Structure 1
Amino acid sequence: MMCRVLVVDLDGTLTLSRNTYELSAEALLALRRARDAGLRVVLATANGLDFALAIARYLGIRDVIAENGCLVYLDGETHELCSGDMSRVDGAVLATGAVAPSPQNKCRRFDLAYVPLAADALERVRSAVPPGYVVESSGYAIHVRPAVVDKGVAVAWLCERLGVPCFQVASVGDSDVDVGMLRRTWGFAVGNATPAAKEAARVVVERPSGLGFREAVDIILSGGACTP
């Protein structure tokens, strides 16, 4: 087995599907197998850090990439990869009337999340946000953050801090917000991933969401990833 680190998305990847928050039992068992095999597992999520750390604790994961790469919790310390005041951007987004703020925004710092209220919410938010920010959908919410950072940038930062080449890192994701990390690593897209995620991944597995994650772990543990 060549992979040393496994970075995994949460919503849509460890869940039963892309429209539920219920975790997949098969995915949880695969996660345990990956840890038992010696892989350092990192949770990479669009969720806020407080929420992500709570989930990670029950998943047996120590390291977390939160807010789509803006925050990294590594070895007990929090590192900010984004900067700036998001209040002006938040005001512009809410003024569209096309979205409602996520309850998590009270605890989020740089990547703000919104619940769409209109069919064209994504386009209206993109029109309202000034240059220097990216607007993406995770399938669960619309996210707005500084454009300099994504999950891929956070993974690259993590690789440097851990002294692990990124080609020895596998990642699994399902949505547009996972594109950066899928490109940066030996990326796996689950079978029901978005077209952008599938295009960015090195491997697209057949099964959806949590079952797809289990399939990806099977390939990784059999030595079929992170190879020269």
Structure 2
Amino acid sequence: MGMSSVDILVASDYDRTLANEENNFVISPSVVQKVNEFSKKYKFIVVTGREKRFIDKLAIGLKPTAWILENGTLILYNNKEFVLCDDNWFEKDRKKIIEILNQLEIKYSLGRVIIYLDGFGTKLDAIREIEKYGKIEVNRNDAMILPKGVDKGVGVMKFKQLIGFKGKIVALGDSENDYALFRIADIKVAVANAIPQVKEMADIVTEKPNGLGVIEILDKILSGQLRKEVNID
């Protein structure tokens, strides 16, 4: 069975993968056009640590199959929202973490599910205390606190289950919080600007950085060329 008959789901990170830092993470129209065209034939999901309110401003016109936001804790699909944590997180654990952050005077902001940290690196001794209640994920210079047992990979697997997807997952990423995405992927793709550790894990490293690297891979899938490069049957 060739790749043309294998169902494919592309799971792509957003910052420094779909959109580049030089453009303040505003996605370029050519990437929007390519992803929207691709999404008519295959499934394409954006998997990001970002909140919806920021994505709405940055990814104007982008229409993927689904959004997995806040590092895997929130799935937006078919105008429905799926939250990947239990009530205990909101009723108990998150409140306790907020208490600790306030005591330590660490700046933070709250997402729909997760907590975003600002300037956390100076108070590393607090990690042990917080890790009783949640999980800390570092992504380049940022950090976020999630419910235990949830990450980008978990979010993608939950979505796969939700839609009964049986095909292959192609993951695209650049940074530490994409390890979890790579863990569940059949084919791991690092964009040219990815950190060295992500490139080492990848099956393919794109020639071009950021969104141009994503376009490169989508074109290879659409043309059937990717099937020749990696065994996806």
- What letter is aligned with 1:155? V
Q: 1:198 to 1:87 in 2, by over 3 A?
A: farther
| Kept after mapping to 2: 8 A contact 1:188/1:201 | yes
Alpha-carbon shift at residue 53 of structure 1 (Å)? 5.6
Query: How far apart in 2 are the matches of 1:139 and 1:172?
Result: 17
Q: 1:154 to 1:121 in 2, by over 3 A?
A: same
Alpha-carbon shift at residue 12 of structure 1 (Å)? 1.3
Alpha-carbon shift at residue 173 of structure 1 (Å)? 1.5
| Kept after mapping to 2: 8 A contact 1:125/1:135 | no
Alpha-carbon shift at residue 61 of structure 1 (Å)? 2.7
Give runs of aligned pairs for residues 6-25 of structure 1, distance below 5 A.
6-17=10-21, 20-25=24-29
Partner in structure 2 of residue 212 of structure 1: 213
Identical counterparts, % of pairs: 24
Q: How many residues end up aligned between the 2 structures?
A: 219
What is the TM-score when the length of structure 2 is the normalising length?
Answer: 0.79
What is the TM-score when the length of structure 1 is the normalising length?
Answer: 0.81
Query: How far apart in 2 are the matches of 1:93 and 1:200?
Result: 34
Structure 2 counterpart SS, 1:14: coil
Partner in structure 2 of residue 58 of structure 1: 61
Query: Deviations 1:167-222 (Å, cap 9, x if unpaired)?
Result: 52222122211221222122212122234433443322232222222222233223
**RMSD of aligned C-alpha atoms?**
2.7
Give runs of aligned pairs for residues 31-180 of structure 1, distance below 5 A.
31-36=35-40, 38-52=41-55, 58-83=61-86, 84-85=89-90, 86-97=94-105, 99-102=106-109, 105=110, 108-116=111-119, 120-121=121-122, 123-124=124-125, 126-139=127-140, 141-165=142-166, 168-180=168-180
- What letter is aligned with 1:66? L
1:184 aligns with 2:187: no
Larger radius of gyration: 2
State which drifts further: 24-33 or 3-12. Answer: 24-33
Query: Deviations 1:33-64 (Å, cap 9, x if unpaired)?
Result: 4224x012212111124444665662123521
Structure 1 runs not aligned, ≥5 long: none
Query: How far apart in 2 are the matches of 1:95 and 1:190?
Result: 40
- What letter is aligned with 2:85? C
Structure 2 counterpart SS, 1:157: helix
State which drifts further: 151-160 or 189-198. Answer: 189-198
Query: How far apart in 1 are the matches of 2:217 and 2:126?
Result: 34
Query: How far apart in 1 are the matches of 2:194 and 2:155?
Result: 21
State which drifts further: 85-94 or 54-63. Answer: 54-63
Partner in structure 2 of residue 198 of structure 1: 199
Query: How far apart in 1 are the matches of 2:207 and 2:127?
Result: 32
Alpha-carbon shift at residue 4 of structure 1 (Å)? 2.5
